[in-house]
Amino acid sequence: MQNIVIVGASLAGTRAAETLRSSGFTGAITMVGAEAHMPYDRPPLSKNYLAGDWDEERVALRKPEALEELNLTWKLGVAASGLDTAAKTLTLANGETLTYDGLIIATGGDVRRLPNQPDIAGIHTLRTLADATALRDEITEGARVVVIGAGFIGLEAAATAKKRGADVTVLEGLEAPLIRAMGAETGAAIGAVHERNGVVVRCDVQVASIDGDSRVKSVTLSNGDVIPADVVIVGIGVSPATTWLEKSGLTLRDGVVCNANLCAGPETVFVAGDVLRWPNALFADVEADMRVEHWTNAAEQGAHAATNLLAALNSTEQTPYSAVPFFWSDQFDARIQCLGRPSANAVVDVVAGNPADGKWCAMYSVKNRLTAVLGVSQPKLVMPSRALLSTHTSREDALAHFVRVTAPPPPPPAA
Ligand SMILES: Cc1cc2nc3c(=O)[nH]c(=O)nc-3n(C[C@H](O)[C@H](O)[C@H](O)COP(=O)(O)OP(=O)(O)OC[C@H]3O[C@@H](n4cnc5c(N)ncnc54)[C@H](O)[C@@H]3O)c2cc1C
């Protein structure tokens, strides 16, 4: 009987297990997860769950019966600590060794910490259910919440905290929020959404220290400003969770580097989700390879990696994974949706609405070709752009498309 091990009991890992079973794999599947929880969904952690509107049961990725049907062996609350691809063995932090015929790595990301971040109460990061529960319990009406880092997670947490009546300040080192993800113009417009809702957004500032004895009291900036704080959220991004693979011989470069089929080199080792770096053929002309930290990507890659692993085990043909990445983010009443790869170095054209009004759509082009379409509360313009993005549409053709689709309807014929 063949034996598949999945490392990372979360979104990509669960989708991989489901695909293995739905494809008819009847061998053993072991799911190893560092967290003690059954798989849950992360997007609500900065939104409905943090707001106190959803409970733990609601963030579960699947109902217990559905997971039971998969007939998996669960090893939860224990991290994988080493991999020997020649011997096809995996070492766990509790000393156990697992053997495998096929392996799927879906270990996601670990939150980054500030270099001088003290270990005192009131300082939070937000990646896991445990993080979100601890943070939720401290965001009370009137609490002074300081968010360090204006990325998506920090901004979503800021919006949720503000909605719960906290007094929120966001600190960002660059000149606008979300610059790396979306560029300065769009990032500044999202920052303005927060300011309109009463969040203080301070850009171009450096945090010198987070201060307090047993509990946080304030954040000091390099210009000497001191911002009082009851709660600090450090939202400075994640690093792919690859430390455990350092001696494995797999190629690690801001993620596990794979081929287009999501194979890491050894022929039955596949990777999916936030931890994967792979060449996405649809964007090969602008990015040699990419790592994507979005929900849809992790779900799709989990399924794809499982399908290709079965092909590898059965010596049948594998297929490359190429896709137009998609993400969404909810901040106050702004629903951000984005298809493609927005970047700070792109030419940005606003093709509908006006960023100042908080409702707009922008397209991004690199090397004169469309690379992303991002809308704020503009779902009808974003989602139909997938075809444009998967066919290397030039900037001119994309602009013409948006002129067409946003043109006002012709006046009714004169009576
Ligand atoms: C608060 C929050 C809000 C988000 N909101 C959105 C959103 O609105 N839209 C969107 O598109 N995306 C959103 N995302 C991103 C999305 O949730 C991730 O892209 C997705 O969860 C990635 O799934 P994954 O399975 O690759 O990794 P993860 O979900 O990170 O799961 C990896 C699992 O592997 C485990 N693990 C790590 N190392 C080991 C090891 N050595 N051994 C065993 N297990 C290990 C981890 O504990 C974890 O449980 C959000 C993420 C967060 C944190």
Q: What is the mean pLDDT of the chain?
A: 96
* Per-residue pLDDT tens digits for 292-317: 999 999 999 999 999 999 999 999 99
pLDDT of residue 134: 97
Mutate to test the pocket of ligand 1, among 5, 6, 37, 42 (most ligand atoms within 8 A of CB): 42
More confident residue, 347 or 357: 347
Q: What is the band of 379 on the pLDDT scale with cuts at 50, 70, 90?
A: confident
Paired sense of beta strands 276-277 and 256-257, if any = parallel
The beta strand positions in 112-225, using DSSP E, are: 123-124, 144-148, 167-171, 200-202, 207-212, 216-221
Q: Residue 276 above 90 pLDDT?
A: yes
Q: Residue 180 above 90 pLDDT?
A: no
- Whether the CB of 123 sits within 6 Å of ligand 1: no
Q: Where are the domains of the chain?
A: 3-110+238-313, 113-234, 333-406
What value, to the nearest 5°, has the Cα angle with vertex 265 and ends 264 and 270?
Answer: 35
Which residue minimizes the CA distance to atom 30 of ligand 1?
108
337: Cα separation from own chain's centroid: 13
pLDDT above 70: percentage of residues in the chain: 100
The residue-averaged pLDDT of 209-223 equals 97
Amino acid at residue number 118: P
257 C-alpha to ligand 1 centroid (Å):
18
Q: What is the band of 385 on the pLDDT scale with cuts at 50, 70, 90?
A: very high
User: What is the 3-state secondary structure of 214-236?
Assistant: CEEEEEEECCCCEEECCEEEECC
Q: Residue 186 above 90 pLDDT?
A: no
- Whether the CB of 103 sits within 6 Å of ligand 1: no
Superfamily in which the 3-110+238-313 domain is placed by CATH? FAD/NAD(P)-binding domain (3.50.50.60)
Q: What is the DSSP letter of 255?
A: S
- Whether the CB of 83 sits within 6 Å of ligand 1: no
CA-157 nearest atom, ligand 1: 1
Q: Do domains 3-110+238-313 and 333-406 have the same CATH topology?
A: no
Cα–Cα distances in Å, from 339 out to 176, 227, 373? 21, 37, 5
Q: Residue 415 above 80 pLDDT?
A: no
Mutate to test the pocket of ligand 1, among 54, 59, 182, 274 (most ligand atoms within 8 A of CB): 274
Give the CATH class of 113-234: alpha beta
pLDDT of residue 120: 97
Contact 297, 304 (CB under 8 A): no
258 C-alpha to ligand 1 centroid (Å):
19
Q: Which contacts qualify for 214-219: CB closer than 8 Å, 24 or more apart?
A: 214/120, 214/121, 215/120, 215/121, 215/122, 216/118, 216/120, 216/121, 216/122, 216/123, 219/146, 219/148, 219/171
pLDDT of residue 55: 96
Buried b (16+ CB within 10 A) or exposed e, 208-220: eebbbeeebbbbe
Contacts of 391 (CB under 8 A, 6+ apart): none
CATH 3.10.250.10 fits 333-406, yes or no: no
Q: What is the band of 182 on the pLDDT scale with cuts at 50, 70, 90?
A: confident
Q: Residue 342 above 80 pLDDT?
A: yes
Which residue minimizes the CA distance to atom 38 of ligand 1?
107
Which residue minimizes the CA distance to atom 20 of ligand 1?
295
The residue-averaged pLDDT of 86-106 equals 98
- Whether the CB of 292 sits within 6 Å of ligand 1: no
